[in-house]
């Protein structure tokens, strides 16, 4: 999976999408329960 992330452009990784985490990075150190499906664009990576 980490190798797949290298194929994703930085601009795409820096944005939040409907199915991604709505929690801003400024909350680093907090505990977050993600009930969503996660970043779907990872499924499209070769």
Asked whether residue 16 is domain-assigned, the answer is yes
Q: Output the pLDDT for position 4.
A: 78
Report the domain count for the chain.
1
Asked whether residue 27 is domain-assigned, the answer is no
Asked whether residue 26 is domain-assigned, the answer is no
Instruction: Please calculate the CA angle 37-42-43 and round it to the nearest 5 degrees.
Output: 80
Q: Output the pLDDT for position 29.
A: 78
Q: Output the pLDDT for position 34.
A: 61
Q: Output the pLDDT for position 24.
A: 66
Q: What is the pLDDT of residues 2-44, one digit of tens each?
A: 787 788 888 877 776 655 556 666 677 777 666 665 555 555 5
**Element at 13 (helix H, strand E):** helix 10-13
**Largest CA-CA distance found in the chain, in angstroms, rounded:** 32
Asked whether residue 40 is domain-assigned, the answer is yes
Kindly report the average pLDDT of the chain as a whole number: 67
Within 10 angstroms of residue 7's Cβ, the number of other Cβ atoms is 11
Which tops the pLDDT comparison, 38 or 1?
1
Domain residue limits at 8: 1-21+36-46
Asked whether residue 43 is domain-assigned, the answer is yes
Asked whether residue 44 is domain-assigned, the answer is yes
């Amino acid at each position: 999976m980490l190798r797949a992330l290298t194929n994703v452009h930085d601009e795409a990784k820096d944005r939040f999408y409907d199915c991604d985490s709505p929690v801003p990075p400024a909350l680093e150190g907090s505990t977050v329960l993600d009930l969503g499906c996660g970043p779907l664009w990872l499924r499209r990576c070769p």
